[in-house]
Amino acid sequence: MSSTYFKSSAKRYNTIMEEKNKKNENLDDSFLDQTLRPTRWDEYIGQKHIKDNVKLLLRAAEERGHIPEHLLFYGPPGLGKTTIAHLIAHETGRQMKVTSGPAIEKVGDLASILTNLAPGDILFIDEIHRLNKMVEEILYPAMESGVLDIIIGKGPSARTIQLDLPPFTLIAATTRVALVSSPLRSRFSGGVFRMEFYSDEEIAEIVNRSSKLLETKLEEDGLKEIAKRSRFTPRTANYFLKRCRDYAQVNKMKLNKETVKGALAMLSIDELGLNNSDRRFLEVLIEKFKGGPVGLKTMSAALAEEEATLEEVVEPYLIQLGLLERTPRGRVATEKAYLHLSFAVPKNLQSKLL
Ligand code: ADE
């Protein structure tokens, strides 16, 4: 695919939109999300540490005539793990096959994926922490030596034959790196990279870029307001931008700060970007458990919410904002959390700040 293919994403989007409208089909948000996804390094904002290291690694591999080594990206949802995998494929001109940990149920599923790769392909496995043990063990020799170990027969007469695989690069993503076994982690010879939350400035840059691609006139104060409430997360920022654009269009308003406030109030997003689940988490922690410390299991039961959702989605943002602390004895609400939700601050927290 030529690098100019995505250059004018807005134009491309509009052309496809016209085609779709002709066919009277709906253009869904997942399509819009693809339109907004950067496909070149210079369009990819933030994560400088990762960008520098990955670009160097790709360049070195290319100069040596090798395929890039395996890479693992981890961090909270929405920070661009899948986006960077697509970007690497695009920038290196490689084909990428996409799958996920839970989709590979049996050893045979992985064997089929691996044997169907073309030389130099990238295999992207999302949610790699959800691979089952048997599948994972097939992946080790595939990653390390480029072979597929197939066991034929059972019991004492069982034997292993080895099949050479086409050379490939595995790029994997996970929100829960602690659940990736250390033998698997150590096989990502190109590196294990932690995606960081974005700064408000970086998010503003992403929203600005997206508004141009969507051909939406977004005023400076509206841009800042979206950025401020976007959980330091590009996926959330782009989602808010799209909803604010809808709100402005339907109400025949300009897309400025007031409009953003109105649109986000409809979504129950407050000035810090907290949604109902975030606020409930803090309210339960403060009201039911005197602000903690409380274990995750207890919070999960009290909120009727899965532990994984709390740990991966709700807590990282609250911690980043300084509303929550994870201590060895459990979760603790901070003074800022009490103030934000208009609860009286307990004495012990007040004294901490003095
Ligand atoms: N969309 C998602 N992640 C992005 C990033 N880092 N830069 C630009 N657009 C993005």
On whether the CB atoms of residues 226 and 238 are closer than 8 A, the answer is no
Closest CA to 70 of 154, 171, 139, 158: 171
- DSSP assignment of 122-148, as one string? EEEEESGGG--HHHHHHHHHHHHHSEE
Q: Which residues contact 90 (CB under 8 A, 6 or more apart)?
A: 1, 3, 6, 39, 40
Token readout for 200 is 């408000």
pLDDT at 3: 36
Q: Is 126 a catalytic residue?
A: yes
Query: How much distance in Å is there from the Cα of 68 to the middle of ligand 1?
Result: 22
pTM over 0.75: yes
CB atoms within 10 A of CB 65: 6
> What separation in angstroms does the CA of 232 have from each of 82, 192, 269, 324?
17, 21, 14, 16
Q: What is the pLDDT of residue 154?
A: 86
Is 175 annotated as catalytic? yes
Residue 97 predicted with pLDDT over 90: yes
Name the token pair of 243: 């909803």
Q: What is the pLDDT of residue 28?
A: 54
Instruction: Choose among 261, 300, 266, 281: nearest CA to 341.
Output: 281
**Annotated catalytic, 246?**
no
Specify the pLDDT at position 351. 57
For residues 170-188, average pLDDT: 96
pLDDT at 27: 46
% of the chain with per-residue pLDDT over 70: 90
Instruction: Classify domain 3-194 at the CATH class level.
Output: alpha beta
CA of residue 280 to ligand 1 center, whole Å: 29
14-18, 30-34, 204-208: which is most confident? 204-208
> Across residues 115-131, what is the average pLDDT?
97
**Tens digit of pLDDT for each residue in 279-337?**
999 999 999 999 999 999 999 999 999 999 999 899 999 999 999 999 999 999 999 99
The answer to whether the Cα torsion of 129, 132, 138, 140 is positive or negative is positive
- pLDDT, tens digit (0-9, with 9 covering 90-100), for 262-278: 999 999 999 999 999 99
Spacing, Cα 51 to ligand 1 middle (Å) = 12
pLDDT band at residue 153 under the 50/70/90 scheme: confident
| Beta-strand pair 191-194/169-174 | unpaired
Among the listed residues 35, 83, 175, 259, the single catalytic one is 175
Distance (angstroms) between ligand 1 centre and the Cα of 342 equals 35
User: Is residue 143 scored above 90 in pLDDT?
Assistant: yes
Q: Compute CA 308 distance to the chain's CA centroid, rounded to the nearest angstrom.
A: 15
Catalytic, out of 39, 83, 121, 126: 126
Catalytic residue of the set 35, 37, 39, 81: 81
User: Would you state the pLDDT for residue 29?
Assistant: 57
pLDDT over 90 for what percent of the chain?
A: 84
As its CATH architecture, domain 276-353 has Orthogonal Bundle (1.10)
Q: What is the per-residue pLDDT for 301?
A: 98
Write the CB contacts of 154 (distance below 8 Å, at least 6 apart in sequence): none
How many CB atoms are closer than 10 A to CB 148? 19
Look over the chain and give the mean of its residue pLDDT values, rounded to a whole number.
Answer: 90
Residue 52 pLDDT grade (very low, low, confident, very high; cuts 50, 70, 90): very high
pLDDT digits (tens, 9 = 90+) for 209-252: 999 999 999 999 999 999 999 999 999 999 999 999 999 999 99
In the chain, which ranges are continuous DSSP H helix? Answer: 9-22, 29-36, 48-64, 81-92, 107-115, 133-145, 182-185, 200-213, 220-228, 234-250, 257-266, 276-287, 296-303, 307-309, 315-320, 335-340, 347-353
Average the pLDDT over 10-25 and give the result.
40
Instruction: Write down the domain spans for the chain.
Output: 3-194, 200-266, 276-353
Residues 128-132 have a mean pLDDT of 96
Query: 266: which residues sit within 8 A by CB, 6+ positions away?
Result: 243, 247
> What residues does ligand 1 touch, defined as CB less than 6 Å away?
37-38, 44-46, 80, 83, 206, 234
pLDDT at 289: 97
Amino acid at 34: Q
Which residue from 85, 97, 4 is spatially nearest to 37, judged by alpha carbons?
85
241 in Cβ contact with 219 (< 8 Å): no
| Helical packing angle, 296-303 and 276-287, nearest 10° | 110
Give the model's pLDDT for residue 150.
85
Is pLDDT at 24 greater than 70 in this prediction? no
pLDDT at 136: 96
Domain covering 200-266: architecture: Orthogonal Bundle (1.10)
